[in-house]
Amino acid sequence: MHHQLKNLPKVELHRHLEGSIPVPLTLAWSKKYHLPLPPSEPEKNIQVKTPMPLPKVLERLFYQQRCFQDRESVETLTYEVLKDIALDNIKLIELRFSPGFMAEPKNLPFDMIMEATLSAKERAEKDFNMEVGFILISSRDLGNDICEETVDLAIRWKKEIVGIDLAGDETNFPPELFEKPFQRAHKEGLFITAHSGEVSHPSHITTSIQKLKASRIGHGVQAIQDPTVIQYLVKHKIPLELCPTSNFMTKAIPHIKEHPLKKFMELGVEVTINSDDPTLFGTTLTQEYEICMQSLGFSLEEIQKTILTSFRHSFLSDEKKKRAWKQHLHTLEN
């Protein structure tokens, strides 16, 4: 089955660049720049191997974040991440990153980060015959000013990116705090997705859709607790970007077998399957499909259905989607 799932042409909507740098590369880069690594078993300890609270999980991202030292490292690492994505037979990818987070270690200029990531994207699209779209993330905990700055950046580069996202601690920084910048991004024609209802209250999901103009929800696992939120998602056809391993590792769900993915699907919610931070969680999109089949009772047809749902809800341009469809994804329609 692994072989069959690996060979499926895939679409992924929710994946973080900073959490996708392959482990050997993170270790090599850390040595190259003399960056601190965990004192014992660095390979294991830069990853999250057992469930822990979300803030603890995010601390582990530090090792990958530190790799972004200059323009060259941003470009090389972005290219290597896209190469890794191509190896999993992902043909259409929306890769998200937080310029604020990437810039932090060395205070890199945001525009330089954009130039470097875009140059890597152009090369990767040619070399690996794939379609790539970038989503810029504003991290809640960096506050409103950085959010405004990220939205400015997104608007400046809006021809080159596909959307904008809000991530980070939703409990302490609820969606309504960011209403103004996100409405501004929406007016400029940027698509919006928001991390919401991952480990926090399901009511934030509806707020994210209404006040932030989100047309997709990152995670949204907690919607399962609230029938009115589920009805709202169904009625407005708002898809959830679900990440089973990640949701288990951040304690968003108590056990992998209790992931509500299949339930959502049965209730008529549009669901997509994603890997979130594959390096951090030691997974791949193929593995996420395997989990859905082994632990959640998905059939191969249902997996294919989620790929088509991802394709339909992708923020990429019609031109890029048509190309991916003609070359790879049309085989999913039986």
Instruction: Quote the CATH superfamily of domain 2-325.
Output: Metal-dependent hydrolases (3.20.20.140)
Averaged confidence pLDDT in the chain: 96
pLDDT tens per residue, range 193-246: 999 999 999 999 999 999 999 999 999 999 999 999 999 999 999 999 999 999
Residue type, 223: A
pLDDT tens per residue, range 252-303: 999 999 999 999 999 999 999 999 999 999 999 999 999 999 999 999 999 9
47: left (phi over 0), alpha (psi -120 to 50) or beta: beta
- Answering whether pTM is above 0.75, one says yes
Nearest to 279 by CA among 53, 38, 61, 29: 61
Query: Contact 208/179 with Cβ under 8 angstroms?
Result: no
Nearest to 98 by CA among 74, 124, 120: 74
Cα–Cα distance, 30 to 263 (Å, whole number):
42
Query: Contact 316/118 with Cβ under 8 angstroms?
Result: no
Query: Contact 49/282 with Cβ under 8 angstroms?
Result: yes
198, 270, 288, 290: the active-site residue:
198
**Residue at token pair 């905990």:** 141
Nearest to 5 by CA among 303, 329, 306, 334: 303
3-class DSSP state for residue 288?
helix
pLDDT tens per residue, range 2-29: 899 999 999 999 999 999 999 999 999 9
DSSP character at residue 276: B
The answer to whether 198 is a known catalytic residue is yes
- Per-residue confidence (pLDDT) for residue 334, from 0 to 100: 66
pLDDT at 1 over 90: no
pLDDT tens per residue, range 135-149: 999 999 889 999 999
